[in-house]
Amino acid sequence: MTLCINGADYPMPNDPRTTLLDHMREKLNLTGTKKGCDHGQCGACTVLVDGKRVLSCLQLAQTVRGDVTTIEGLSKNDTLHPMQAAFLEHDAYQCGFCTPGQIMSAVACVSEGHAGSDAEIADWMSGNLCRCAAYPQIRAAIASVAQAEAEG
């Protein structure tokens, strides 16, 4: 059994208790995904599994069914993913600790079609706490990507 993360195959952990988050951080040196609570209450550990956003702290690694994408897998070569570029441009972060989770969630928010208005973004991004409260800038970053996509 292997885990596909960012297009590469990694071994499954032997210990069934291992969460996807701990496995990535402790064993695979994928520390971009953050742990803010370890109990599903903050969104810092958000990753995509087959394009859907999930909390890697509540996901046992052995029960992952699908391909995992993390913040490290978002940019191709050296080019930032449009969402990363938008976060940078809109200063949509301060301490940066929630940022990987915000960006992964934001990518899904747009692909789900939940970025149609400021209010809709606010609602569908409410699973990612930002204590620095870069919230308005995060909304602006997401809106800009959604708009660019809509315009093709």
Partner 1 sequence: MSAFDITEGGTPVDGAAWIAGGTTMVDLMKLGATAPSRLFDLGAQRDALSGISETSDTITLGALTTMADAAKHPAIRGLTAVHTALVQAASPQIREMATLGGNLLQRTRCSYFRDTRQPCNKRVPGSGCPAIGGEDGHHAVLGGSAQCIATYPGDFAVVCVALGAEITIRASDGSERKIPVQDLHRRPGATPHTETALQTGDLITAIHLPKGGAQSYIKIRDRASYAFATASAAVVLHMDGAMVTSARIALGGLATVPWRAATAEHVLKGSMIDQKTAFAAGEAALQDAHPTLTNAHRVELGIRAVAKAILSARGNSV
Partner 2 sequence: MQGHRIEGADKVRGLAKYTDDLRFATPPLIALTATSPVARGRVQIDTSAALALPGTRCVIDHTNAPRLKRAILISMCEPGTRMPLQSDQVEYAGQPVAIVVADSLHAARDALAALIVTIENHDAPAVVLSDAENRLKSVRRAGIGPGAMKKGDADAALADASVSAEVNAHAAPHHQNPMEPGAVVARWDPDGGVTVHAAVQWHHLDASMIGQAFGLSWADGMTGLLGRAVLGTSGKSKVRLHNQLSGGAFGRNISYLALLLAPIAAKVAGGPVKLVQSRRDTFSLMSHRSEVKQRLRVGADTDGKLKAIVLEPDIARGNAAFVEPIGEMPMQLYAHDTHRLTTRVAKLDLPGAGWMRGPGVAHAIFALEQAMDDLARQVGKDPLDIRLANYSEKNPANGKSWEAKALLEAYEVGAAKFGWRDRPKGGSVRPDGRVSGFGMASAIDLGRQFPAHATVTMTKDGRVVVSLAVSEMGQGLLTGLTGVVAEMTGVSPDRVEFKREATKEGYAAGSIGSTGTYSNAAAVKTAVEKIIKKLAKAGGLPKSSKLQDGMLVAPNGESAAISDLLSRTGDLTAKGRAGLTFGASKQAKASFGAVFCEMAVDPITLDVEVIRLVGAYDCGRVLQPKIARAQLIGAMIMGMGQALMEETRLDRKRGHWTNAEIGEALVPTQADCPHVEAHFVGDTQGKPGALDFKGIAETAIVGVSPAIASAFADATGGVVHHLPLNHAARLAAVSRAQFSFKEAAE
- CA 31-9-66 angle, to 5 degrees, is 90
Q: Among ligand FAD, partner 2, ligand FES, none, what binds residue 45 when CB lies within 5 to 8 Å by partner kind?
A: ligand FES
Beta bridge partners of 11: 2
Closer CB to partner 2, 67 or 120, in the complex = 120
Q: Which segment (27-35, 58-66, 130-138, 139-147) binds partner 1 by CB under 8 A? A: 58-66
Location of structure tokens 């509540």: 58
Q: How far is the CB of 84 from partner 2 (least distance, A)?
A: 4
Question: What mask, x for binding ligand FES by CB under 6 A, covers residues 29 to 68?
Answer: ------xxxx-xxxxxx---------x-x-----------
Near partner 2 in 95-134, by CB under 8 A: 95-100, 103, 121-123, 125-134
Tally of residues, the chain? 152
**Are residues 142 and 109 in contact, defined by beta-carbon separation less than 8 angstroms?**
yes
58 binds partner 1 (CB under 8 A): yes
For the chain, report the end-to-end CA distance as a whole number of angstroms. 39
Q: Phi and psi of 53, rounded to 5°?
A: -85, 130
Encode 86-95: b = buried (16+ Cβ within 10 Å), e = exposed.
bbeebebbee
* Contact set with ligand FAD (CB under 6 A): 40-41
Residues that bind ligand FES (CB under 6 A): 35-38, 40-45, 55, 57, 93-99, 130-132, 134
